[in-house]
Amino acid sequence: MSAADTWLRDVFLYGIFAVAALYGYKRIFPGHLRSLNKRLSAWLMSKVMWRVHARCSEEKRLLFRDFDKITTQDERGPHILEIGVGPGNNHTHFPRPSRMSCIEPNSECKKYLEQNLRETRGVKLVQFVRGFAEDMLDFEDNTFDAVVCTFTLCTVRSLERALSEIKRVLKPGGVFFFMEHVAAPTSSWQRRAQDRLNVIWPAMTDGCNLNRETWRFVQDAGFSSTNFTHFSIKFRLISFKAGLYGTAQK
């Protein structure tokens, strides 16, 4: 047997052993593996997501300048809900002072958020809820001056339900700020690639959808007004016209 054949055999056998060991561990200690996965996911988000946001820094500046349109009589500043807050990548754009509540599926993200908030004066964390955008029962109707959601709507199980909940918790006149990766233009090579990859992508990325036409759902959600802009997300060698940012007012 050649050295190459021996190497391939060893890789194959070790791979089978690793998969079998992981499966057995998951069966015996299911709770521990879920906990480990949540901790690892939170750590990865704290190290990676800021890079994604950095590539959209100009678009974020244009999006969040509309915070100037929000008025409140509360001396503590506007009350803002962030959905899918992760480690906290948006609060540096919030007005000063302001109050911040969050809903996030992974409670392990809270420590990274609190650490980042300590470095930002004037934004106070009021409430951190472990949950999902589709069921925000911890928050009463007409509570928030603004709702913020970035790179999260791609993973929600029911976009219609999530948008209905967002509209419910906003005060009359409140504003929903969103930024997402979405479906590229129809008939483009990017869209064809998205459609093909999306067959397996959600299973690999905890439900992330590559080809959602999110703007259509926002338009149909019953807000009094919507405004959005498509933009290109730039990588080192290529640029995808698959970004979206905008606002919707209750």
Looking at residue 209, its pLDDT comes to 92
Looking at residue 3, its pLDDT comes to 53
Looking at residue 26, its pLDDT comes to 54
Closest CA to 62 of 171, 164, 178, 154: 178
Looking at residue 4, its pLDDT comes to 46
pTM of the model: 0.82
Looking at residue 18, its pLDDT comes to 47
How do the pLDDT tens digits run along the chain, 250 residues long? 555 445 445 545 554 554 455 455 456 556 545 566 667 666 666 566 777 778 889 999 999 999 988 888 899 999 999 999 988 899 999 999 999 999 999 888 899 899 989 988 899 999 999 999 999 999 999 999 999 999 999 999 999 999 999 999 999 999 999 999 999 999 898 899 889 988 888 877 778 899 999 999 999 999 999 999 999 987 665 667 789 999 999 9
Which residues, including other chains, have CB under 8 Å from residue 117's CB and lie 6 or more apart?
88, 91, 100, 123, 125
Looking at residue 19, its pLDDT comes to 46
On average, the pLDDT of the chain sits at: 85
Map tokens 């479906």 to a residue.
183
Looking at residue 40, its pLDDT comes to 67
Residue environment code for 102-141, b if the CB has 16+ CB neighbours within 10 A, otherwise e: bbbbbebbbebbeebbeeeeebebeebbebbbeebeebee
Per-residue pLDDT of 134-151, as tens digits, reads 999 999 999 999 999 999
The helix-helix angle for 110-118 and 30-54 (nearest 10°) equals 40
Looking at residue 208, its pLDDT comes to 87
